[in-house]
Structure 1
Amino acid sequence: MTEFPPLIPDRGEDSDWDSTLVVHNHFVNVSIVPERRHSGWETVERGWVESKQQQAQAKGLKSQGRASDGPFSTDASNDVLSSIATDASKATAFFAYPQMSIPTPQLEFDFRMRVLLNPQSASISVGDGFKKMSTFSEGTWSGHFGHGLVVNGGQDSQDMVCGDTIATQVEATLRLQTADEPPACIECKLRGNRIGPSDLMKELQGPGKCRQADPRLCPYRIFVSMKTSDPRYKDKLNTGMWIGSCVWKDLEVVFDAYRIS
């Protein structure tokens, strides 16, 4: 069995990451769901309609027990069921080839990456807000296709206020270097969003401000693509697609990437 180096190097006792958050094993065990296929949209639609009918019947019976002549009487319940069936029937008219079964994408854990942002950043005025430009000072990665370093790269991010939440849009380009001799160079592009309550997002932004805040409370998801001209890796990476789940605390970002197959 191939031995992989630790996914995240030990940073010593000064690390304030939750030990249940950063895994120091050689690899993460991820159970792969067998490929699932369905018989077409007809089965999906039928299940959806039956589920809605059951919910409507339950609501109707509950309301009927309180007031038999109320708005959820038997006649009203039948009207609800009829409306659901009509809406579902109308929806099927817009499906292309509703009887055709399409393979379901599968996810397989592929690699973990850790990057450290430079404390200095630049802000650029964009419309009514600002976009922050920053660079990565260092990083490591390890996974199925190898391991190595993050040698340079940069990112830009922009906060958007949506009601009581803040969404941070992030785009980054990284240059990865493998541990081979000679090393291969890989261009890695990331794009995604981090979303959370405004108070928590503000607490997580900036070094030294989030010792008590848990970054896992703010969902952070990204799309990942990679490209290289090195013949040792181009067949493995150039046509691949990944999605990632991240945590961002202080100046450090760690994410797991899952290949879409």
Structure 2
Amino acid sequence: MGRQPGWSRPYDGDMPRHIDQDVHSAFVEFRNGSKMMTSAGWGAVLHCNQVRAKNTSRQREHLMVCPGYQSVLKEKIPANNLRHQFDEDDVASSLALPTPSLTLDFRMSIRVKPKLSIGTANFGRESWISCVGGQWAGRFGKGILLPGGQDKQTMVKDMATRIDASYLLQTNDEQPALITCKVKGWWTGDRDVMERLQDPVAADNVAAHRYLFRVVIELETGDERYADVNTGLWVGSGCRRGAEIVYDAHRVS
């Protein structure tokens, strides 16, 4: 690859050897215990707040293993920054947007009936799975899943399965609130793994990391005590254990 601006050698996967000025610019420097910009003393790394002596070699060595700095460095490489894919006069080429963060917010454990096969429809082999109950617990409350929820699954090529489910959550308040829960996503994996997951007994012996069970989740309620969920969005990871489906829901913020 060609040289990037400010690099003394081509990028080969390690942190390039910056000139001294570039290395020092990653540090806020100290003297006599008080923070100040100076050419002498000690420096705190801007990206992790660790303190290092003002020694170019030692600072460079730290930057090579500093996760925060490496993340910033990757964004400076045109191939890793989508903004470089836009024309210079397009606002998208210079606009910096915040990166969403994820927080584990609640878990659902759903007990289900055996799958009912509908047959091959327009988009694949369809099945219905009925919810007979369950429970949920999270940062904003806890309660049960009421019977009657439905999970429509559509199996397409290589047994990849589209998930489209609706459940009804009830809180354990003295006067319970009802929260609708919509789950949409995909269940994918190697064909032999997906085949084993179709058998409720064999599914118990398949580790969750052997397949991808990824969904988006939306909640809605008319109860003012839980109105905050109406504007929330969650991404989830699931697994199948016999007659039970378990989801972890991570709130996007």
Aligned match of 1:184: 177
> What amino acid sits opposite 2:131 in the alignment?
F
Aligned match of 2:230: 238
Checking the alignment, whether the CA contact within 8 Å between 1:205 and 1:250 is kept in structure 2 is: no
Shift of 1:124: 3.9
> What amino acid sits opposite 1:157 in the alignment?
Q
Residues matched between the structures, number? 181
Aligned match of 1:111: 106
Checking the alignment, whether the CA contact within 8 Å between 2:125 and 2:156 is kept in structure 1 is: no
Aligned match of 1:171: 164
Which protein has the larger Cα radius of gyration, Structure 1 or Structure 2? 2
Distance 1:46 1:253, change over 3 A: closer
Q: After superposition, give the CA deviation of every residue in 1:43-88 in whole Å (9 maximum; x if it has no partner).
A: 889733488xxxxxxxxxxxxxxxxxxxxxxxxxxxxxxxxxxxx9
Higher mean alpha-carbon deviation, 88-97 vs 125-134, is at 88-97
Aligned match of 1:142: 137
Mapped to 2, the partners of 1:112 and 1:132 lie a distance apart of: 24
Distance 1:144 1:212, change over 3 A: closer
Aligned match of 1:157: 153
Identity of aligned residues (%): 30
Shift of 1:159: 1.1
Checking the alignment, whether the CA contact within 8 Å between 2:78 and 2:84 is kept in structure 1 is: no
RMSD: 2.7
The residue correspondences of 1:193-232 to structure 2 (distance < 5 A) are 193-232=186-225
Gaps of 5+ in 1: 1-42, 52-87
Mapped to 1, the partners of 2:121 and 2:89 lie a distance apart of: 39
Gaps of 5+ in 2: 1-71
Instruction: Please state if 1:249 is matched with 2:241.
Output: yes
TM-score, with structure 2 as normaliser: 0.64
Mapped to 2, the partners of 1:204 and 1:171 lie a distance apart of: 18
Distance 1:102 1:251, change over 3 A: same
Q: After superposition, give the CA deviation of every residue in 1:19-40 in whole Å (9 maximum; x if it has no partner).
A: xxxxxxxxxxxxxxxxxxxxxx
Q: Secondary structure at the match of 1:149?
A: strand
Mapped to 2, the partners of 1:215 and 1:252 lie a distance apart of: 13
Structure of greater relative contact order (alpha carbons < 8 Å, 6+ residues apart): 1
Checking the alignment, whether the CA contact within 8 Å between 1:150 and 1:176 is kept in structure 2 is: yes
